[in-house]
Amino acid sequence: MAEKPEDICPRPDFLPDQPTQPLAPPIYTAAVYRCRDPEQAERLLAGEEPGYVYSRDGHPNADLLGEKCRRLHGAARAAVCGSGMSALAAAVLSQLAAGDHVAVSNQLYGRSLQLLTGEVGRLGITSTPVDTCNLDATERALGTNTKLLVVETITNPLLRVSDLAALAALVHSRGVRLAVDNTFAGPAICQPLEFGADLVVESLTKIMSGHSDVLLGLLCGREENWSRVPFVLSTWGLSSSPFDCWLAARGLGTMALRVDRAAASALAVAQFLASRHEVQVVHYPGLASHPDHDLARRQFNGRFGSMVSFTLKDGGPAAAAFMAGARQIPFCPSLGDLSTTLSHPASTSHRGLSHEVRQAQGIGAGTIRLSVGIESPESIVAAVAEGLAGLGESTGRGPPEC
């Protein structure tokens, strides 16, 4: 007797046996996998046999992406999380417990500061923000119950560079671990584990995936810090979407090319801005005038990243005029896209800080942050020049060169 359509249609299929492998990876959207028998299920869930059961615990697209990221960082272990913030949360939840203390750079990404100085307090974890460019101050911030120091390789928006080797040596002498948010550099510019970091956090949303169409994060680290990570990811629900992982892996395919191109253009843009009288200061670690230039030369791979910040002499009105004039550069408070974008820290990423704190850090209403893309360097410099022309003054210097 013929089967009924309502029975045929809903039943799961088996994939055909394939003698050839697809060149592009499939997307495994399955939330759950079929186990052969209870014994296999038990071995899989206990981690005694490799394989997948439930996608919150792991899935092939996360593993494909995570394995590439692990190799990019020379890490023993890597895990892909649902966002950069969930990767940072995974670091906190796997490494810290009530009664512990965490020291954090006072220039961290805004949400990271909120997590590490506000939210952790609700879990009984204390914290101290400190200027981690100052090693003495950093040492004073370490107490007997300090377990972790969290810094960023390159800070936002002033692009200060953390001395990872010095910070690692300092904290290790006190039995403290170093976690580094490497989002603004990425592994093509800097591999923090090589300088002694214990854990690396990255927002894959930005430079790594590179197309502004996914939200993902990465946590990687050493074997000895990893024991709680898989359990934390699954139990706190920090895991990733297969489709986002697939898109990120696709974006990652061109990361080395994108970073190389964008960093070369960023240097050209920084040099151009430094030559302009409307600009009070340019922040780019590739310029000899940057306070961390020598450190950046030692710690980076010869490139200095794709982020350039600058402060206009005439403050907020000049910044508004620049943003209105720079019609080719979208105002997007994110970074790492294919196209050049700009952000205005005082009204976006740093709006939570008081005017005084912003001033003390050197972030003014006239500060603009550029995320340099992969367009031709000539067109990026021309787009920036168009923004400066919006300030309404003739510079008398003729068209930009780069």
Ligand X SMILES: *Cc1c(COP(=O)(O)O)cnc(C)c1O
- Give the number of other Cβ atoms within 10 Å of residue 396's Cβ: 6
**Angle made by CA atoms 108, 136, 197, in degrees to the nearest 5:** 50
Q: Give whichever of 77 and 206 is closer to ligand X, judged by the CB atom.
A: 206
Q: Give whichever of 103 and 321 is closer to ligand X, judged by the CB atom.
A: 103
Size (the chain), residues:
402
Q: Give whichever of 85 and 116 is closer to ligand X, judged by the CB atom.
A: 85
Binding ligand X (rule: CB under 6 A), the pick from 203, 299, 343, 371 is 203
Residue entry with tokens 């990465």: 218
Q: Assess 161 for contact with ligand X (CB under 6 A).
A: no
Report the alpha-carbon distance of residue 203 to residue 183 in Å, rounded.
6
Q: How far is the CB of 183 from ligand X (least distance, A)?
A: 4
Per DSSP bridges, beta strands 101-105 and 146-152 are parallel
Which residue has the closest beta carbon to ligand X? 84
The Cβ-side half-sphere exposure at 218, using a 13 Å CA radius, reads 37
Cβ proximity of 284 and 266 under 8 Å = yes
Binding ligand X (rule: CB under 6 A), the pick from 100, 181, 244, 278 is 181
Q: Give whichever of 278 and 337 is closer to ligand X, judged by the CB atom.
A: 337
Q: Give whichever of 272 and 300 is closer to ligand X, judged by the CB atom.
A: 300
Give the CA dihedral 37, 39, 40, 43, nearest 10 degrees: 160
Report the alpha-carbon distance of residue 134 to residue 162 in Å, rounded.
10
Binding ligand X (rule: CB under 6 A), the pick from 44, 193, 215, 259 is 215
Report the alpha-carbon distance of residue 254 to residue 251 in Å, rounded.
6
| Alpha helices (runs of H) in 76-118, residue ranges in sequence order | 84-95, 110-113
Residue entry with tokens 């697209």: 61
Q: How far is the CB of 138 from ligand X (least distance, A)?
A: 19
Single-letter amino acid, residue 48: E
Q: Assess 84 for contact with ligand X (CB under 6 A).
A: yes
257 CB contacts (<8 Å, ≥6 apart)? 374
Q: How far is the CB of 181 from ligand X (least distance, A)?
A: 5
Binding ligand X (rule: CB under 6 A), the pick from 61, 112, 128, 343 is 112
Q: Assess 83 for contact with ligand X (CB under 6 A).
A: yes
Q: Assess 244 for contact with ligand X (CB under 6 A).
A: no
Query: By CB under 6 A, which span of 83-91, 134-142, 218-226, 359-367 interacts with ligand X?
Result: 83-91
Q: Assess 152 for contact with ligand X (CB under 6 A).
A: yes
Q: How far is the CB of 217 from ligand X (least distance, A)?
A: 5
Q: Determine the straight-line distance between the first and last CA of the chain, rounded to whole angstroms.
A: 77
Q: How far is the CB of 202 from ligand X (least distance, A)?
A: 8
Give me the residues that bind ligand X (CB under 6 A), please. 83-85, 109, 112, 152, 156, 181, 183-184, 203, 205-206, 215, 217
